[in-house]
Amino acid sequence: WTHLERQRGGFGFLGGPGETQIESDRRMIRDRMAKLRKDLNHLRKTRALHRDRRQRAPWPVIALVGYTNAGKSTLFNRMTGADVFAENLLFATLDPTMREFSLPGYDKAILSDTVGFVSDLPTQLVAAFRATLEEVSAADVVVHVRDISHEASDAQAHDVRQILADLGVSAETGEGPPILEAWNKIDKISKDDHQFERISSPLPDNVCTISAETGTGVQELIEMIATILSDGYISEQVTVAVSDGKRVAWLHENGRVLSSEQDSDNLLLAVEMSPRNWGRYYALH
């Protein structure tokens, strides 16, 4: 109650004559809840807007997800470099946790650091948590960062997978973007640790071991991301008349335009797309 009283001033409420303390507290809390709900709604809307805009951009988005303290931000900083993001106008107003990073074979790629997952999130926080994570299902690749040196690593991974499935991302059902696992903090594991054998045995195809702190394995992770992104994609050179805006727009919308050169009346584009989209493209007349 004293805590509420201290906050009262900040909200500028004055109880009317005869209003009991408990009534004015209730009113204050109700108003506060209404405001937070409105903020949350606004947040979802602006995020959805940014997402749409990004989906139209030809650059892939890679989302780092994982249990809190797994090392996502450390990996994020390592992969993006300290000050890569100078003033790229298109993304200047986006979430500060999205940055450009270099991915072999791509002009640009966007890495997204996300809020850490925790088990048994209080129900009041679930909506806020979801709002910040809706981005994840729109990513092109999801990298599940795990602290493999943690004794509860498997339980944490289980909880993360559950939350991902709730967000519509699941390796099991194949729903959503593909998931890679980065087993982090291998520098902390010595030969006598029980996890040592596990990380030194052959790993599943979608797993790599890294140390975000020392940089070990990070290049391999980046290569894995590039490989899975182009999985099944075919890149071709196409020539389109500059005046054929419709066709150019179609390519930008449905494929990844890797490069674009103008030669008098024509545009020479290197485009990467799924075979299905190439079929659709050649059917356009």
- What residue is closest to ligand GTP based on CB? 116
Q: Is 266 in the site for Mg ion (CB under 5 A)?
A: no
Site size for Mg ion, by CB under 5 A? 2
How far apart CA 83 and CA 46 sit, in angstroms, is 25
Asked if residue 95 binds ligand GTP (CB under 6 A), the reply is no
d(CA 285, CA 244): 11
- Cross-sheet strand order for the sheet of 234-241: 234-241, 266-273, 256-263
Sign of CA dihedral 247, 253, 255, 261: positive
Tokens 């890797």 appear where? 258
Choice from 13, 15, 40, 73 touching Mg ion (CB under 5 A)? 73
Q: Is 66 in the site for ligand GTP (CB under 6 A)?
A: yes
Compute the distance between CA of residue 4 and CA of residue 27 in angstroms, rounded to an integer. 12
Is the alpha carbon torsion for 189, 191, 195, 197 positive or negative?
positive
Closest listed residue to residue 87, CA positions, set 73, 106, 100, 78: 100
User: According to CB under 6 A, which residues from 189 to 228 bind ligand GTP?
Assistant: 211-213
Provide the minimum distance between the beta carbon of 151 and ligand GTP in the complex, in angstroms, as a whole number: 15
Do the Cβ atoms of 98 and 130 come closer than 8 Å?
no
Residue selected from 80, 184, 195, 209 as contacting ligand GTP according to rule CB under 6 A: 184
Indicate which single residue of 15, 27, 50, 74 sits in contact with ligand GTP (rule: CB under 6 A). Answer: 74
- Closest distance of CB 254 from Mg ion, Å: 34
116 lines the binding site for ligand GTP (CB under 6 A): yes
The residue length of the chain stands at 285
- 79 Cβ neighbours under 8 A, 6+ residues apart: 101, 111, 218, 222
260 forms part of the interface with Mg ion (CB under 5 A): no
Q: From Mg ion, ligand GTP, none, which one binds at residue 97 (CB under 5 to 8 Å depending on kind)?
A: none
Total of chain residues touching ligand GTP, rule CB under 6 A = 16
Nearer to ligand GTP, 164 or 240 (CB): 164
Q: Which is nearer to Mg ion, 7 or 68 (CB)?
A: 68
Q: Which does 68 bind (CB under 5 to 8 A by kind): ligand GTP, Mg ion, none?
A: ligand GTP
What's the closest the beta carbon of residue 217 comes to ligand GTP, in angstroms?
9
Angle CA 54–39–8, to nearest 5: 155
What is the token pair recorded at 130? 């979801």
Site string for Mg ion, 21-60 (x = CB under 5 A): ----------------------------------------
Binding region for ligand GTP (CB under 6 A):
66, 68-74, 116, 184-185, 187-188, 211-213
